[in-house]
Amino acid sequence: MACTRSSARVPIRGAAIRYTPGMADGTETEIKLRVQDLAAVRARLRKLGARPGPRLHEVNVLFDSPQGALRASGTLLRARVERPAARGPAPSKRTAKGEPHERAEQWMFPARGPQRTIVTWKGPSAETSSYKVRREIEFEATDSHALREVFSALGLAPAFFYEKIRTTYRTARIPGLVITVDETPVGVFLELEGRPKAIDRARKALGYRASDTILLSYGALYAADCAARGVPPTHMLFQ
């Protein structure tokens, strides 16, 4: 996969589960930080010796039952496709209403041919006030249509589409840390993932306080943004 973060492959019966360096037995520890000045953050990343990978445009879809059973249990089942992002800033508009954006549907489930897809399952978040900690299993599928058919047979359907433009940074100065810059329809965010000490060190180096930490998912951030604007939530997509 054109994975947006450095990952290790653990062969299991011919498949490959991806674990981020620093993850213990597939346990993900991360935080988000809101970016007010992207140019300033990029300058701090350079000062930290962080080198960027490719800038990728992601389309994600969460699957759930009609009753929202996965969401209610705190688990997540996601499919993602990635493509090189266009040059320039991310689109700033948000979809306002209606069904999932046609472009997102086409990217995820193209009319012809298989679509290489990244599948992620995440368990419930552990109780912590400083970090978001949860079990994660991630692997590749070669055909998004077949994947949707399997999920449909299990009573699951696309429930929430969202997209973002992600750039992954790595720095040898803080081993086992993955830094991503996510440009989304509801703002720009940093994600720091790795061991708690590595996360804290990077957060401080990037000019953030512990009180700046965000533990919400992008779905929750989108819902909060819709509530602030007085509009019903639909799907977090660029126009």
Whole-number average pLDDT of the chain: 88
Mean pLDDT for the stretch of residues 93-122: 79
- How many residues would you count in the chain? 239
The number of folded domains in the chain is: 1
Mean pLDDT for the stretch of residues 169-183: 96
Measured CA distances, 170 to 12, 37, 214, 234 (Å): 27, 20, 21, 34
Residue 2, both tokens: 């054109």
pLDDT of residue 12: 35
Q: Using 50, 70 and 90 to split pLDDT, how confident is the model at 239? A: confident
What is the Cβ-side half-sphere exposure of residue 234, based on CA atoms within 13 angstroms? Answer: 12
Q: Does the residue 123 lie in any domain?
A: yes
Give the C-alpha separation, 209 to 194, whole Å: 18
Q: Which residue range is the domain that position 19 belongs to?
A: 8-229
Q: Using 50, 70 and 90 to split pLDDT, how confident is the model at 89? A: confident
Give the C-alpha separation, 160 to 195, whole Å: 30
pLDDT of residue 196: 96
Mean pLDDT for the stretch of residues 182-201: 97
Give the C-alpha separation, 129 to 31, whole Å: 10
Q: Does the residue 238 lie in any domain?
A: no
Q: What CATH number should be reported for the domain holding residue 56? A: 2.40.320.10
pLDDT of residue 139: 95
Q: Does the residue 2 lie in any domain?
A: no
Give the C-alpha separation, 186 to 93, whole Å: 9
Residue-wise pLDDT for 192-229, tens only, equals 999 999 999 999 999 999 999 999 999 999 999 999 99
